[in-house]
Amino acid sequence: MAGSARRSEGSARLWHMTTEASGPNAKQIKLWNEVSGPNWVAQQEEFDERLEALGLAAMDRARIEAGERVLDIGCGTGQATLELARRVSDGGSVLGIDISAPMLDRARSRAAESGVRDVTFEKADAQTFEFGPARFDLIFSRFGVMFFDDPLAAFSNLRNALRPGGRLAFVCWRDPEENPWATIAVDAVGQHIPIKRPKPGVPGPFGLADSGDVAKILDKAGFSNVGFEEASGKNTLGTGGSLEDTVAHVLKLGMVADALREAEVQDTTEIAASIREAFARYATPTGVHMNSAAWIVTARSP
Ligand SMILES: C[S@@+](CC[C@H](N)C(=O)[O-])C[C@H]1O[C@@H](n2cnc3c(N)ncnc32)[C@H](O)[C@@H]1O
Domains belonging to the chain, first-starting first, are: 24-175+199-236+291-300 (3.40.50.150)
| CB 189 within 8 Å of CB 254 | no
Q: Residues 236-282: pLDDT tens digits?
A: 887 778 999 999 989 987 789 889 999 999 999 999 999 999 999 99
Distance 281 CA to ligand 1 centre (A): 31
pLDDT value, residue 17: 40
DSSP state of 286: T
Rounded Cα distance between 258 and 120, Å, is 32
- CA angle, corner 300, sides to 296 and 302, nearest 5? 165
| CB 260 within 8 Å of CB 268 | yes
| E strand or H helix that includes residue 251 | helix 243-251
Distance 125 CA to ligand 1 centre (A): 9
| Crossing angle of helices 243-251 and 254-262, rounded to 10° | 60
Could you identify the atom of ligand 1 that is nearest to the CA of residue 44? 9
Residue 240 vs residue 141, higher pLDDT:
141
Rounded Cα distance between 232 and 53, Å, is 10
Distance 75 CA to ligand 1 centre (A): 6
pLDDT value, residue 234: 83
| CB 271 within 8 Å of CB 133 | no
Q: Residues 175-212: pLDDT tens digits?
A: 999 999 889 999 999 999 999 888 999 999 999 999 99
Q: Residues 42-74: pLDDT tens digits?
A: 989 988 988 999 999 999 999 999 999 999 999
Nearest CA to ligand 1 atom 18: 125
Distance 98 CA to ligand 1 centre (A): 6
3-state secondary structure of 289: strand
Distance 74 CA to ligand 1 centre (A): 3
Cα dist. 256→37, 39, 188, 251, 298 in Å?
Answer: 15, 13, 10, 6, 32
Please give the average per-residue pLDDT across 202-230, as a whole number.
97
Q: Tell me which residues have their CB closer than 6 angstroms to ligand 1.
A: 25, 28, 32, 47, 51, 73-77, 79-80, 97-100, 103, 125-127, 142-144, 147-148
Q: Give bridge partners of residue 169 from the DSSP assignment.
A: 140, 298
| E strand or H helix that includes residue 174 | none
Nearest CA to ligand 1 atom 10: 144
Could you identify the atom of ligand 1 that is nearest to the CA of residue 77? 9
pLDDT value, residue 233: 85
Could you identify the atom of ligand 1 that is nearest to the CA of residue 75? 6
